[in-house]
Amino acid sequence: SKMTVKAVKMPCTSANVYTKVPDGGWGWTVAFAFFVVEALTYGIIKSFGVFFNDLMESFDETNSRISWIISICVFVQTFTAPLSTVLSNRFGHRLVVMAGGLLISTGMVIAAFARSVVDMYVTIGIISGLGYCLSFLPTVTILSQYFDKRRSLVTAVASTGECFAVFSFAPAITALKEQIGWRYSLLSVGVLQLGITVCGSLLRPIIIKEQEVKAQPPEESTETKYMLENEQTCTSIESIDSGVDITTSPSNVPGKTKAEPKSEEPKQHGQIPVENNSTPPEPKTKLLDFSVMRDYSFICYAFFGLFATLGFFAPSLYIIPLSLSLGIGKDHSAYILSAMAIAEVFGRIFAGWVLNKKPIRKIYIELICVILLSVALFAFPFASEFWGLMTCSIYFGFMLGTVAGTHIPLLAEDDVVGIEKMSSAAGVYVFIQSLAGLAGPPIAGVLVDTTKNYSSAFYSCAAGMVLGAVFLALVRPCKTGLCHQQQQQQQVEESLPGPPPELPDDFIDMDIGKAENSGKGSDSV
């Protein structure tokens, strides 16, 4: 029989309270919100390449200087990830995402009136970059809390929002630029990104409250039974001729051993004093738990994210300039970027479907996908015409989808840190990625300016992805080694002799009382 999980809406926080992870319910609404947030954040970032040549002509700047716009944006987005975690734990995911949507829209709208590339650094790089961080990370974190068994599949499908955005935005913005120019096109994108605030309002908090199981009352102690008999029969235990001298009542014990605390209310006849078993206050949740930095498996996974980020953004930025350098028209170049986005959709869905299978070691599946993604990056420089570049883009898009849609949700797996520490781990993980997000596109731009060949940008991305694969391969060995050390330590602790048995509090006093009574008896004789 399938258990029905009921959600209870709390009036103060409007939170959903479940007895276990729902794997559905309001989570489907959160998944839709994440789909739209992905489209309006990473979808816009990856589509920004359509403005690349326009900005170079308008501001008379080089590739590397224009690349710094997205570099600063990605750096701020990832560098402020711990801030996003702290604010989400303090004010809730809903308010943080709504505030992030306002920042993104504000930065894009102001950037439409920029007069220099430095203005772009501030508006899109800093203002919108901070908004991207406040919008994306809390959304993917709360989505992971709504799902357990279906987490990989749902997150992968919902993350296809950026792919559909690139597929639709790249041709749409290209056509819009020809009608109203790049400035008003950028203004329209900024107004569209206000939809993130609406998505943020749908992120209802979730509370997993385990169902209380009524435990059997513990057996009454001997002392309690005797006290109950004394009160009900008004008979002293010592008057019973049993041949055993029992002195259990606190009033009968010499020296007045530890007794029950007195209650201000008078005791009723037959009422047993009950200890106050009020539940202790719950410990305060840490705004940011840096203890994950002591986990070797997480450190290796963070280095994987650091180097793999080099290959995430640069290909999307340089695919259109590369196609133009090969003599491919602007319309066909936009189609290449759109084909890459569609292939990424299938890659994300495929990865989610595979990772949803059990039993399966998800970290190894991720490693295979990263290796194949490295091969895709090395293949770009060998493309020399439209169909060759189209083939490389489709292959790269598919493999990118298998990695980009799963590398953050995999933090919730036990091979890395687990769902309990996922919020803090995601903040630290994305923070470490910030260095690669800042350095990746400019390094590629410098290589392009130096070699006068866009193929060199893809070589730098491939080198970073290979290094990421090396660290990803070390995650599981580090985790198993750490667990093995903990098990050995636990076995050593269990082999040590335990503490001596505890004696009752009135043990000594009872013996003293017996000795005194026997002494008085001998004197009287």
Task: Give mean pLDDT, residues 320-340.
Answer: 80
Task: Say if residue 315's pLDDT is above 80.
Answer: no
Residues 6+ apart with CB under 8 A from 242: none
Considering the domain architecture, whether residues 339 and 465 belong to the same structural domain is answered as yes
Q: What is the pLDDT of residue 511?
A: 52
User: For residue 519, is it within any domain?
Assistant: no
Considering the domain architecture, whether residues 206 and 317 belong to the same structural domain is answered as no
For β-strands 16-18 and 206-208, DSSP reports them as parallel
Task: Say if residue 222's pLDDT is above 60.
Answer: no
pTM confidence score:
0.61
Task: Give mean pLDDT, residues 265-278.
Answer: 45
pLDDT band at residue 112 using 50, 70 and 90 as cut-offs: very high
CB 254 within 8 A of CB 519: no
Question: Residue 395: which CATH number?
Answer: 1.20.1250.20
Task: Say if residue 347's pLDDT is above 80.
Answer: yes
Task: Give mean pLDDT, residues 5-13.
Answer: 44
Task: Say if residue 247's pLDDT is above 60.
Answer: no
Q: How many domains does the chain have?
A: 2
Considering the domain architecture, whether residues 176 and 301 belong to the same structural domain is answered as no
Q: What is the pLDDT of residue 192?
A: 93
Q: 3-state class of 206 per DSSP? A: strand
Task: Say if residue 256's pLDDT is above 70.
Answer: no
User: For residue 506, is it within any domain?
Assistant: no
- Closest by CA to 67, choosing from 494, 515, 449, 500, is 449
Q: What is the pLDDT of residue 150?
A: 79
Q: How far is CA 237 from CA 60, 203, 229, 232, 314, in A?
A: 102, 64, 9, 12, 87
Considering the domain architecture, whether residues 192 and 299 belong to the same structural domain is answered as no
Task: Say if residue 169's pLDDT is above 70.
Answer: yes
Beta bridge partners of 9: 16
Q: What is the pLDDT of residue 488?
A: 59
User: For residue 276, is it within any domain?
Assistant: no
Considering the domain architecture, whether residues 459 and 327 belong to the same structural domain is answered as yes
Q: Where does a domain end: 182, 210, 238?
A: 210
pLDDT digits (tens, 9 = 90+) for 18-56: 767 777 788 899 999 999 998 999 888 888 878 888 888
User: For residue 517, is it within any domain?
Assistant: no
Residues 6+ apart with CB under 8 A from 70: 45, 48, 124, 313, 317, 441
Gap between the terminal Cα atoms of the chain:
77
pLDDT, the chain, mean: 75
Considering the domain architecture, whether residues 299 and 199 belong to the same structural domain is answered as no
User: For residue 360, is it within any domain?
Assistant: yes
Task: Say if residue 106's pLDDT is above 50.
Answer: yes
Q: Which domain holds residue 29?
A: 16-210
Considering the domain architecture, whether residues 47 and 148 belong to the same structural domain is answered as yes
Task: Say if residue 224's pLDDT is above 60.
Answer: no
Considering the domain architecture, whether residues 59 and 179 belong to the same structural domain is answered as yes
Q: Where does a domain end: 184, 210, 236?
A: 210
pLDDT digits (tens, 9 = 90+) for 353-377: 887 776 677 888 889 999 999 998 8
